[in-house]
Amino acid sequence: MRLRLVITGLLCAALMTVGVGAVPRPAGLGTVAGQVMGPDGKAVAGARVTLQAAEGRRLQTTDTNNQGRFWFASLPEGQYGVRASYEGRVSEWRQNVWVAPGEQTNVVLHLRPKK
C-alpha cells in the first residue's frame, strides 16, 4: 500500500513538471500556421497549401481542415514562402515568412476570384 502511494506521488509530481497534454517541441524549430479565405471572406476547407524554402524549392504541401486552417510544424529557423490553391483559384505568394525557434508564425492567405 505504501509503495502504491509513493508511485502515485511520483507520477503526480512528474505530470505537474511536464504538464498534462504538453506537446514537446524540438529545440530550434518553429511552425507556420494560418487560414485560407475565399474571395467571399469565408474560410476554405480542402484548399491545398504549399510551403517553399526561400530559394524556391518546394518543401511541403498540406490541405486545410474544415475551418480552412493549416500547419507546417518542425521547421528550421529561416524564411519561407506560402501559397494556397483551390478549384482553379490561387492566393498571393506570401514571401519572407520568418520562422523563429519555438515560435508559431501566423499567415492568412486570400484566394483570388476566378477570371
Question: In this structure, is residue 1 part of a structural domain?
Answer: no
State the CATH number of the domain containing residue 57. Answer: 2.60.40.10
Question: In this structure, is residue 18 part of a structural domain?
Answer: no
Q: 3-state SS of the chain: helix, strand, coil percent to 5? A: 15, 50, 35
Question: In this structure, is residue 4 part of a structural domain?
Answer: no
pTM for the model stands at 0.74
Question: In this structure, is residue 6 part of a structural domain?
Answer: no
Q: 62 is in which domain, residue-wise?
A: 25-110
Q: What is the DSSP string of 10-55?
A: HHHHHHHHH-TT-----TTEEEEEEEEE-TTS-B-TT-EEEEEETT
Question: In this structure, is residue 17 part of a structural domain?
Answer: no
Question: In this structure, is residue 2 part of a structural domain?
Answer: no
Q: What is the domain count for the chain?
A: 1
Q: Digits of tens for pLDDT over the chain (115 positions)?
A: 555 544 445 444 444 444 333 444 456 899 999 999 999 999 999 999 999 998 888 899 999 999 999 999 999 999 999 999 999 999 999 999 999 999 999 999 999 988 7
